[in-house]
């Protein structure tokens, strides 16, 4: 369905995108710092599932609605801003975390990653701009090609973002043994989430 030449061109391009620091990577970094490696991996999985939802919508043609209806773009965007600020407030409010404190259930980290990704309308605009360059209607189903390319991007993102989260989780585990460093850690994590919210709030549709 997808010829080898197209895949050989797509995979390196997808890997470059996966390794480029962005909102998803920073979100997993923040999760790892605050909650540990396992929640960070769960957050990375949630982000990857959210990316596949965007790919599915784009493949079905529904993503074009976001590109052509500014009000829909803004509604989704401000939902994302509100959710990121909610997560930031939780990090600021929780303060120091004891090394003996129970970790946040991974299902909540998965949910947070999923919601943050789904409420970033720029993801679907990116999918609409990037993947069609590699889709060939003459070789088969357009939707199936979208999904195959989406799986490649999502798996790469899961691995890269997960590794970033694991690294951050190791650093966070060391820092929480110091009450003062733990308190600073909460503010750093809240600052990361707040910065992502501001970035989402001021970004342009184009």
pLDDT digits over 138-189, tens only? 887 888 999 999 999 999 999 999 999 999 888 776 665 566 766 777 788 8
Helices marked H in the chain:
4-19, 23-35, 37-60, 63-68, 70-94, 106-118, 121-130, 142-175, 179-202
- Per-residue pLDDT tens digits for 39-64: 999 999 999 999 999 999 988 887 77
So what's the pLDDT on residue 205? 52
Over the range 179-201, which residues count as b (16 or more CB within 10 Å of their CB) and which as e? Answer: eeebbebbebbbebbbebbebbe
What Rg value do the Cα atoms of the chain yield, rounded? 18
Q: In the structure encoding, which two tokens stand for residue 165, read together?
A: 């989260």
Q: Which of these, 197, 206, 185, 152, lies nearest to 18 by C-alpha position?
A: 152
User: What is residue 177's predicted lDDT score, i.e. its pLDDT?
Assistant: 59
Mean pLDDT on 77-88: 88
Lowest mean pLDDT among 10-14, 59-63, 200-204: 200-204
Within 119-141, residue ranges assigned H as helices are 121-130
What integer pLDDT is reported at residue 156 of this predicted model?
95
How far is residue 123's CA from residue 36's CA, in Å, rounded to a whole number?
A: 26
Percent of the chain exceeding pLDDT 70 equals 86
């Amino acid at each position: 369905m997808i010829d080898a030449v197209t895949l050989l061109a797509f995979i390196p391009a997808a890997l470059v995108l996966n390794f480029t620091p962005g909102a998803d990577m920073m979100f997993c970094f923040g999760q790892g710092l605050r909650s540990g490696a396992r929640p960070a991996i769960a957050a990375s999985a949630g982000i990857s599932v959210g990316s596949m939802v965007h790919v599915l919508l784009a493949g079905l043609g529904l993503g074009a609605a976001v590109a052509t209806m500014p009000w829909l773009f803004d509604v989704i965007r401000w939902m994302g801003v509100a959710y990121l600020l909610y997560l930031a407030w939780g990090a600021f409010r929780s303060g120091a975390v004891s090394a003996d404190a129970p970790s946040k259930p991974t299902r909540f980290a998965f949910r947070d990653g999923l919601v943050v990704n789904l409420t970033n309308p720029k993801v679907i605009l990116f999918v609409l701009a990037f993947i069609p360059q590699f889709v060939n209607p003459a070789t088969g189903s357009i939707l199936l090609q979208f999904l195959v390319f989406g799986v490649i991007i999502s798996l790469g993102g899961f691995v890269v973002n997960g590794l970033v989260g694991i690294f951050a989780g190791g650093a966070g585990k060391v820092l929480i043994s110091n009450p003062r460093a733990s308190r600073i850690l909460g503010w750093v994590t809240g600052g990361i989430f707040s910065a992502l919210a501001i970035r989402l709030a001021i970004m342009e549709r184009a």
